């Protein structure tokens, strides 16, 4: 993998120009059920567009991203041999039926109950077994190559909850979700998708740190994708400081802020918000005296693209395509990577 640009595509417009700038799209989302069955129809509004999209760009990879329909769907299907076979066969079937190039598993996360999932410590090994079975079923389709990828949490907890070297025997690449690095779990206003960490941050994490962590655990650099955010994170009711809200404690965690398109129209140096740049983190932010907004912009994406090329990583993916109707962010990635 080299200089890849992959977009998660759900609802919203998707054009010929978009298709020609991307190397892959992840259709969001299909659902895995606790009995191993898969629901796609009614969940993904781009299925009927697949022939048209292939006409626009025959080389574009179109991959189905899967979440769980039930709180214990992944854990249950991973733990049982027959359910693993059922789930893998179901995924291979929809891959053939809709002329897809493969499957992406968005399990947030093995062994981690904090998002309301029913999980088990056995998820760590059982996830490897599930991926092995899906790999076997995808390879059995024949013809062109079919991909198996995962979306992974961008911190130490994730690499401790999966068997990374063993997983890479079955996966083509990993989308490391290097966004929400500051989120609802953090009462410290800060960058949610910064390339580098600010030294004053007591909750140190960054895009670079996350990819280096995965690489240190045995994942080849060219099979790691860095995540970019087409949306913002927001902290409110802050006290001002010399850094304009950066790294100020907040009464509550960081919620979701406006998408990039709305940020440009109504927030960037508008309506009391001033845009600032953290040169150490290579990240922008907005502050109006009490509300702090963290996001990606063309300058931060340029830095990310240059870093990915310098270090030999696979490329950049982003969440989510509909968040930038201006097209500026995708254009930036296209110019810098393709």
CB count in 10 Å sphere of residue 89: 16
Q: Is residue 45's pLDDT more than 90?
A: no
Q: State pLDDT tens for residues 240-297.
A: 889 999 999 998 889 999 999 999 999 999 999 999 999 999 999 999 999 999 999 9
**In residues, how long is the chain?**
338
Fold of the domain built from segment(s) 4-337? TIM Barrel (3.20.20)
pLDDT at 59: 98
pLDDT at 251: 84
Distance CA 4, CA 299 (A): 19
pLDDT band at 316 (very low <50, low <70, confident <90, very high): very high
Distance CA 336, CA 317 (A): 13
* Residues annotated catalytic, as ranges: 108
Q: State pLDDT tens for residues 142-184.
A: 999 999 999 999 999 999 999 999 999 999 999 999 999 999 8
Please report, for residues 2, 96, 208, 219, 303, the alpha-carbon distance to residue 310 in angstroms, rounded to integers and kept in the order given.
11, 37, 12, 17, 11
pLDDT at 276: 98
Is residue 314 within 8 A of residue 11, CB to CB? The reply is no
Residues contacting 32, CB < 8 A, separation 6+: 38, 66, 67, 68, 69, 73, 74, 77, 87, 90
Q: Where are the domains of the chain?
A: 4-337
- What number is the average pLDDT over the span 88-97? 98
């Amino acid at each position: 993998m080299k200089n890849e640009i992959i977009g998660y595509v759900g609802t919203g417009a998707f054009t010929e120009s978009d298709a020609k700038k991307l190397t892959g799209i992840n259709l969001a989302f299909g659902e895995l059920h606790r009995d191993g069955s898969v629901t796609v129809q009614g969940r993904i509004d781009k299925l009927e567009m697949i022939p048209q999209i292939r006409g626009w760009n025959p080389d574009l990879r179109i991959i189905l991203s899967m979440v769980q329909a039930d709180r214990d769907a992944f854990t249950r299907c991973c733990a049982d041999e027959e359910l693993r076979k059922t789930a893998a066969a179901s995924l291979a079937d929809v891959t053939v039926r809709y002329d897809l190039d493969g499957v992406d598993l968005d399990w947030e996360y093995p062994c981690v109950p904090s998002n309301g999932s029913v999980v088990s410590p056995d998820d760590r090994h059982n996830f490897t077994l599930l991926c092995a079975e899906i790999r076997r079923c995808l390879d059995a389709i024949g013809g062109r190559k079919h991909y198996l990828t995962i979306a992974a949490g961008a911190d130490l907890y994730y690499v401790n909850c999966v068997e990374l070297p063993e997983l890479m025997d079955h996966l083509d690449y990993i989308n490391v979700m290097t966004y929400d690095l500051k989120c609802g779990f953090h009462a410290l206003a800060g960058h949610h998708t910064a390339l580098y960490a600010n030294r004053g941050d007591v909750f140190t994490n960054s895009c670079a740190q996350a990819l280096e962590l995965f690489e240190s655990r045995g994942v080849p650099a060219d099979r790691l994708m860095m995540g970019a955010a087409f949306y913002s994170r927001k902290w409110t009711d802050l006290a001002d400081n010399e850094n304009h809200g950066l790294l100020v404690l907040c009464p509550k965690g960081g919620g979701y802020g406006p998408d990039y398109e709305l940020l440009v129209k109504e927030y960037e140096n508008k309506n009391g918000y001033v845009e600032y740049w953290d040169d150490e983190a290579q990240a922008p932010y907005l502050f109006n005296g009490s509300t702090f907004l963290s996001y990606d912009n063309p300058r931060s994406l340029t830095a990310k693209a240059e870093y990915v090329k310098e270090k030999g990583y696979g490329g950049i993916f982003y969440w989510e395509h509909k968040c930038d109707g201006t097209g500026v962010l995708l254009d930036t990635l296209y110019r810098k990577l393709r």
